[in-house]
Structure 1
């Protein structure tokens, strides 16, 4: 049976793009965005949980996030989790709500964030190229085993390269859009 599977390669490449978009959504742009707190984890009830499982996050103002903690006993743990995430936010406790004013981004911080977005993009491209390499190796193995002809291998390699180019383009677009967003707000 052939090892090469085009749909699996496409799924893995799309996964790399989706992962990148998740990473980029966590980068601050100067505007309040609830996804900024997605990477925050909180130590409650003897285990580590995502913030979304112990509180509701919303953006009541363009430069403010509000975290409504469901259990009053977890307010301090949520505050520590936000501090540990190293997002540069200083929570103000107001009962069971933590208010997180977003400070203005300095020009230097904006450039650092844009550079980080570029690094995320580069890592995603590496993942795409690894998937491409796996696909090419599978095609060569299939040809060696006489499961496909040389013409089929070459045709399929072209398909894999086209997929690679498409997903690398998606990555470049996502990174360029995020860098523009970071540098202009």
Structure 2
């Protein structure tokens, strides 16, 4: 019976990790509003090595549609600006003295639809990951049943519990995707 409780706990943790990964992926999808997380993955050349933007500059919000980047060293301004431009985020930074302003361009209707499709694909990928975890757990239960480590009743009960876990996580994924779609389609 300890095996079953441990299995359920492991599966729930892995499902939660799938949801966390989805949240991170959805955070990368740009809506019309500015947020500093957009630049989290930008790498800047810093004395011959690549470093995250957050290690060479302070990233803040100037207003709802503009991100401000202030480098800690004056010579890094041009490198940071180039790194943001080259990051393939569709952003066009502009230097203003010792501050780099990164305005968020308005999303076109076509781009909004493309991003919505991308969000749905990310959500579907997360659902597949959760379902694969359920399948793996059920296979482990069948193996335990064959080895007579658990009874048929226990196997069936634990499968039901794992199915409920799966359903709960799939609903959470659907909610995250719907929220992101609403953000994308809001003008």
Same fold (TM over 0.5): yes
Q: Pick one of 64, 71, 89 that aligns with 1:87.
A: 89
Structure 1 residue aligned with 2:55 = 53
Whole-Å separation in 2 of the counterparts to 1:11 and 1:47: 35
Q: Pick one of 161, 164, 172 that aligns with 1:162.
A: 164
Q: Judging changes above 3 Å, is the alpha-carbon distance between structure 1 residues 149 and 45 closer, same or farther for their aligned structure 2 residues?
A: farther
Q: Which is bigger in relative contact order (C-alpha 8 A, separation at least 6)?
A: 1
How many pairs were matched up? 185
CA offsets 1:102-127 (integer angstroms, 9 cap, x no match): 11111111111111111111111111
Gaps of 5+ in 1: none
Q: Judging changes above 3 Å, is the alpha-carbon distance between structure 1 residues 49 and 142 closer, same or farther for their aligned structure 2 residues?
A: farther
- Let me know the Cα RMSD of the aligned residues: 1.7
- 1:176 and 2:182 correspond: no
Q: Judging changes above 3 Å, is the alpha-carbon distance between structure 1 residues 7 and 71 closer, same or farther for their aligned structure 2 residues?
A: farther
Provide the secondary structure at the position in 1 that maps to 2:29: coil
TM-score with structure 2 setting the length? 0.91
- 1:133 and 2:127 correspond: no
Whole-Å separation in 2 of the counterparts to 1:23 and 1:12: 17
Whole-Å separation in 2 of the counterparts to 1:100 and 1:119: 28
Moved more, 96-105 or 1-10: 1-10
* Structure 1 residue 74: Cα displacement: 2.6
* Structure 1 residue 154: Cα displacement: 0.8
TM-score with structure 1 setting the length? 0.92
CA offsets 1:38-84 (integer angstroms, 9 cap, x no match): 22222323333322222221111111111112223332332232223
Whole-Å separation in 1 of the counterparts to 2:47 and 2:8: 44
- The answer to whether the Cα contact below 8 Å between 1:70 and 1:96 also exists between their aligned partners in 2 is no
- The answer to whether the Cα contact below 8 Å between 1:66 and 1:99 also exists between their aligned partners in 2 is yes
- The answer to whether the Cα contact below 8 Å between 1:55 and 1:70 also exists between their aligned partners in 2 is yes
Post-superposition, which runs of at least 4 consecutive aligned residues in structure 1 deviate over 6 A? none
* Structure 1 residue 163: Cα displacement: 0.6
